Structure 1
Amino acid sequence: MLGLGVDRLQADINRLLASLFHQGVLDEQFLQLQQLQDETSPNFVYDVINIYFDESEKLLRNLRLLLMDREFSDYKKIGLHLNQLVGSSSSIGARRVRNVCVAFRSASELSNRPGCLRGLEVVEHEYHYLKNMMHELFQLEQQRILAAGVRYPM
């Protein structure tokens, strides 16, 4: 009976991942990240993704603060923050976040404040969607581990 629960949870994980790939939320880099996880580092993906979320929160907060300043004119600073976000999103396979950051960066290169504000909204939306989906994925994986009778410290 224990195996059936594990199999069902694994199927749920596979369906969620397939959906995220189909939607373009994730790309093959996420699979490569998963391949780096093993018994010696069972929380590797979880840890890397959480570092990404922590750092991304800071970058998004900085972007919002910059754009809320009516006197702001240093669009290169926005570009620097976006370059960091593009790079870290690429490294974990967050395709849609990366893509909307690239579009946002185009607006910043044109010093287009309304375009930047809209770009920030879109980036934040995609970021939060990714974060929610990763939270759901990690919950399913934790349930699968518990159902299998093995528990790794979190």
Structure 2
Amino acid sequence: MAAKGKDLSQQLEELISSLQEQGILTDYFDDIKELQDEINPRFVDEIITIFLRVAEDYRAELTRNLNACGLVSLACQELVDASEANNKEGCLVALENVNHEYLVAKENLNRIVGMECEIYDMRLCRKQPE
């Protein structure tokens, strides 16, 4: 049984090394591993589970907030279609639509960034002692 555990531990280390070489994991992962000890033997898998849940929440929120970008994608497809049909007038109209949808998306994304910054600043102010 101990040999299997050692083999599995070695496989895990090889997997982690491979993921770091590929740039999927950074050296920060080593820092997280160092925090795991006998008192917290499942620290790494708990952190990974939390990370994945939070990342999925952010992904879902970003997807909801980027509906305007979906319109940019649709406008780009219309431009491709017009180009493939050799429709010069259609290309000009579609290009204008791409530009318009991009500006709408850019404006909305900048609003999101501004609001996120304000929220962050408000949280910082609350944390600072008076």
Q: Counterpart of 1:75 in structure 2: which amino acid?
A: L
Report the TM-score when normalising by structure 2: 0.54
What does residue 20 of structure 2 align with? 21
CA RMSD of aligned residues (A): 2.4
**Structure 2 unaligned regions, length at least 5:** 72-103, 121-130
Change (3 A) 1:59 1:78: farther
2:109 equivalent in structure 1: 75
Distance in 2 (CA, whole Å) between partners of 1:57 and 1:74 is 22
Which SS does the other structure have where 1:27 is aligned? coil
Amino acid at match of 1:10: S
CA contact (8 A) 1:63 1:78 kept: no
In 1, distance between residues paired with 2:55 and 2:113? 14
Q: Give the ranges of 4+ consecutive aligned residues of structure 1 lying more than 6 Å apart after TM superposition.
A: none
TM-score by length of 1: 0.46
* Identical pairs, percent: 26
Q: Which has the higher contact order (CA 8 A, sep 6+)?
A: 1
**Alignment partner of 1:25: what SS?**
coil
Q: Aligned partners of 1:52, 1:78: CA distance in 2, in Å?
A: 22
Aligned partner of 2:45: which letter?
Y
Number of positions where the alignment pairs a residue of Structure 1 with one of Structure 2: 81
Alignment of 1:41 with 2:33, yes or no, is no
Q: Report what 1:60 is aligned to.
A: 59
